[in-house]
Amino acid sequence: MCGITGGWADEPIADAPFGASLNAILHRGPDDGGMLRDGSVVLGMRRLSIIDVGGGHQPVFNEDGSVAVVFNGEIYNYRELIPQLQSRGHTFRSQSDTETLVHLYEEYGPRMCEHLRGMFAFAIWDKSQRKLFLARDRFGKKPLYYTRTGGGGILFASELKALRPLMAAAGVAARIDEQGIYDFLSLGMVPQPRTIFQNVHSLPPGSWLSCDGERAEMQRYWQLDYSHKLRLPYGEVLERTRELISDSVKVRLRSDVPLGVFLSGGIDSSVIAYEAARQLGRDLDSFTVSTTDPAFDEAPVAARTARELGIRNHILPLQVAPLDEIQRLVRQYDQPYADYSALPTSAISRLARQHVTVVLTGDGGDEVFGGYRRYVAAQWASAFRFVPSSLTTMLAGLLQRQSGGRRSTAGFGSRFLRGLGQSPGARYLSWTTDLLQDADKQQIWTGGPMRPTEDWIEELLPRQLSAFDTQASGDIQVNLLSDLLVKMDIATMAHSLEARSPLLDHQLAEFLAALPDSQRITGGRLKGLLRDAYRGRLPDEVILGKKRGFEFSLSSWLENELRGLIMDTLGSPAARVRSFLDGRFIDNLLAGGILRDRNCACLVYALLTLELWLVDFAEGTLANEGWTAPAKCHIPKAA
């Protein structure tokens, strides 16, 4: 696990800005570092040593030094790839998974990505062909940002804070993209491939980009396909699901450093712990958050599960100080980000790093197995297709007036009915977001003309699929990609901890996407397939348990610890967010005004994080100016 940076500039980038870029991602790789210069091309990396700790220094070269790579991530099938490549005449100097990349590139060129099983973002410099090749894993677990230079070159980095010194050196301005703010107000994050900066993008998942210094070509090499369905007996589906999960966990246990599992009381992490325990037994460590609020505390269930599995369980008491943490998180995430569960996720990552260097998580289980109520809503949608929209709108209004909140049963019913008469993009927002719809934003937005967020989502959603598959595809391309995976990557890597997600193995996801809706959610049960697959293998309280997110009482934070900060920032007439939103709306929101069927606490938190980011950007604290030499920097000579 590492952080990478570099590019092909119009003129050679000086040592100081390149060093600043490397220093900005020191947390991603405190163990080692390396760089390569070849004219105007530069590659750099910071390494968190996981595989072949003593070797595997980067950049890694092929036999004659004509191909070099810097790499962030893990190639889980590297042990299988090495003998295959050796049989084709390639020589390996290490046992590092990184070295497989240069030889795969020699064999297959851009099609090398199709042979990889893992999470990755890497850059390859092909000296003989004079090409810079970038690629990202299928789901986008590992980040990779890039921008084009005026002369046709390209700059890249694992984090925006590492890209900005390179941009400044190359004369590429970092200007705020108002569309990113507009979309943020609905989604709580800036959706990829857009970023908060104009002309700065995230390389799409499952894609590669090739640049020759003047022109660039991008191509998608993988996308999850829901169109071809299997017809298998349910018993066979259960068996195949267990086989795929078991194998996915097995290859993700490959590590030369201490490894553990994040274990909550939920089905996803419990399944991962069960499969890992089958491999490691009592040598497995699991980590569970304990809170003082019984409404959110899953530690008792997790502890009982760990005892039944025969593994060690570490209860980590979690006391989040939001006032101390929020400014740090605003800077860590580089752009506006409003998922408040990032606060406890960061805290648990910091505690777990005291014990292990790698953790397995249950991330992705909700998206590939159907773990949200909106998937049940999608199944119900077809039954309402003949009901007049006027009737569903009337019923939605009645439920809305009875709603005890957006997430109450009546609130869910209201959003479900209202979404039935909407376009797919508007329905996705209606069923998914806790923040603002486009209709809300049109009344309060004071910035320039913006494209409706729902229109962009509409284009993203696949056609000719069931409502279930459409919703799942949208969640993987929007919520998972730009919120959940970003949260886990930044929260863990900020503390030099690597997180692996077995339920997002592409072979498992491809199998699940090929199943009919009725086999993924059975009898209206969320993640019914996963629960049936592990019935009798995990405690009944886990199999039958209700879904609970990794959450804390946000309303309490806003009313107490964060209240003063909110009033000093958002409450000020000089608040920068008021350049984009009607100040009367903000004043009404802070005074307790209710925007019905919206999560007002989440909205206040989103505006607070946006305001803090805007202030930091304006004051230059995100620019990472200055440079101190990275420690342990291994610098090979350019070939």
CA distance 388 to 363: 38
Q: Residue 518's CB: how many other CB atoms inside 10 A?
A: 13
- Nearest Cα neighbor of 446 from 197, 175, 182, 176 is 182
175 token code pair:
């200007």
CA distance 290 to 25: 30
CA distance 570 to 588: 12
Strand arrangement, sheet containing 145-148:
32-38, 41-47, 2-8, 154-157, 145-148, 200-202
DSSP label of 194: B
615 token code pair:
């202030």
Catalytic residue among 2, 113, 600, 602: 2
What stretch of H or E contains 168?
helix 160-169
Q: Are strands 259-262 and 358-360 parallel, antiparallel or unpaired?
A: parallel
Contact 73, 43 (CB under 8 A): no
Active site residue 2: yes
3-class secondary-structure state, position 313: strand
358 token code pair:
């790698």
User: What distance, in Å, lies between the first and last C-alpha atoms of the chain?
Assistant: 24
What stretch of H or E contains 217?
strand 216-220
CA distance 42 to 383: 58
* 271 to 296, 298, 302, 309, 636: CA distances (angstroms): 20, 15, 12, 11, 43
* AA identity, residue 266: G
Using the Cα atoms of residue 404, residue 405, residue 407 and residue 410 in order, give the sign of their dihedral.
positive
Q: What is the DSSP string of 393-414?
A: HHHHHHHHHH-SSTTSHHHHHH
Locus of tokens 């490959």: 254
CA distance 207 to 361: 24
- Nearest Cα neighbor of 436 from 184, 193, 611, 246 is 184
Annotated catalytic residues are 2
